[in-house]
Structure 1
Amino acid sequence: MRDDNDPGTLDLITGGLILGYARVSTDDQDLTQQRDQLHLAGCNKLFAEKVSGARRVRPELDRMLDHLRPGDVVTVTRLDRLARSTRDLLDISERIRGCGAGLRSLAEPWADTTSPAGRMVMTVFAGIAEFERSLILERTRTGREAAKARGVKFGPRPTLTKAQVEHARRLVDQDGFTVKAAAELLGVHRSTLYRALDKAMGCA
């Protein structure tokens, strides 16, 4: 819950709170630099976490999005701290917009959705993402045929074999597939593949 008695820094354009989000991927990394940059940008309230951007669940990000009110501005040092892909960025940006809030990146000033130019750029990105999706669908069909030739089995089974998990990791790490597209290729739910990949990383 936000404390309206301690509003923090207000954005001069929107009149809302300037909220910062910081993220690093591992416990060995430090959030200090991001925190300092966000404080200098006027963020008195920060949401920070140490979690891989590939993980579907990011508690502090969800908490920040639930905290948003009209006029607030979400600020990040770089867009890759917020999103793991163009599609992910657009989805998060849409959630922010749906709250009547804006998005601002310190390293990418063109991504400021509180300005008309920034909103136009995000619209262009949405078109690019749709184009990327069409390419992924085509690569998915090609990948399925190649996987079948290598003996990979497909089907709606709730579990994945080691070979399927390794194949999925190649698709994501080397071939540019999203986890969702790789899951569709293997015939499982996205969350099933996330769990399998996380488990494989833990055993590595």
Structure 2
Amino acid sequence: MGNEHLIGYARVSTQGQNLEQQRERMLALGCTRIFEEKISGAKRDRPELLRLLDHLREGDVVAVIRLDRLARSTSDLLQIAELLRAKGAGLRSEAEPWADTTSPAGRLILTVFAGIADFERSLISERTSSGRSAAKARGVKFGPKPVLTPSQIAHASVLVNWSRTLN
């Protein structure tokens, strides 16, 4: 794996699960430090991941056993990979050898994924916009439902006008 400084990130989703298997595999890979977390990947606030990102130095490589231990989704993975790139660090997954940003092929694959994710976001936005326009054309009203009835609004207007005549 070269002279890079491998730093591991291990995560299990629940307190009942064990990090031991991930820890052993990361030590076998040569990780000099392992950040461990027992927290759902769906949580945005993952303190050990934040500590890991803060700890990283240029040339470090974050090692994970599988990408789903690190990221919740493709967009989350791409965001984390970009944070690593900005720090001059790499990413390597044992189970997904194509996800190795320390190699030109791995960087290419993640770049392609980023392009696909961007394309997907633009398609979703376009479909949402088209759907909203079609719904408006059918008379659908967006936003919260009015709390007051039309008669209550008319009564409030009378009261406001009445209070203005007093001043």
* Alignment TM-score, normalising by the size of structure 2: 0.75
Distance, in Å, in 2 between the alignment partners of 1:154 and 1:17 is 52
1:66 aligns with 2:54: yes
Distance, in Å, in 2 between the alignment partners of 1:55 and 1:120 is 29
Q: 1:24 and 1:124, CA in 2 relative to 1: closer, same or farther beyond 3 A?
A: same
Alignment of 1:1-204 (within 5 A): 12=2, 15-141=3-129, 142=131, 154=143
Bigger relative contact order, structure 1 or 2 (CA pairs below 8 A, ≥6 apart): 2
Q: 1:80 and 1:145, CA in 2 relative to 1: closer, same or farther beyond 3 A?
A: farther
Distance, in Å, in 2 between the alignment partners of 1:144 and 1:90 is 31
Partner of 1:111, secondary structure, is coil
Q: 1:144 and 1:45, CA in 2 relative to 1: closer, same or farther beyond 3 A?
A: farther
Offset from partner CA, 1:55-113 (integer Å, 9 cap, x none)? 11110001001101111110000111111111111110011011111100000000100
Matched residue count: 140
Distance, in Å, in 2 between the alignment partners of 1:63 and 1:87 is 21
Read off the aligned partner of 2:27 and give its amino acid letter: H
Distance, in Å, in 2 between the alignment partners of 1:45 and 1:57 is 21
Contact in 2 for aligned 1:104/1:113 (Cα 8 Å): yes
Task: Give unpaired runs (5+ residues) of structure 2.
Answer: 145-167
Partner of 2:113, secondary structure, is helix
Give me the identity figure in percent: 62
Q: 1:52 and 1:136, CA in 2 relative to 1: closer, same or farther beyond 3 A?
A: farther
Deviation at 1:31, TM superposition (A): 1.0
Distance, in Å, in 2 between the alignment partners of 1:145 and 1:99 is 45
* Alignment TM-score, normalising by the size of structure 1: 0.62
Partner of 1:110, secondary structure, is coil
Deviation at 1:154, TM superposition (A): 3.7
Read off the aligned partner of 2:80 and give its amino acid letter: I
Distance, in Å, in 2 between the alignment partners of 1:128 and 1:59 is 29
Distance, in Å, in 1 between the alignment partners of 2:123 and 2:143 is 21
Larger radius of gyration: 2
Deviation at 1:30, TM superposition (A): 1.2
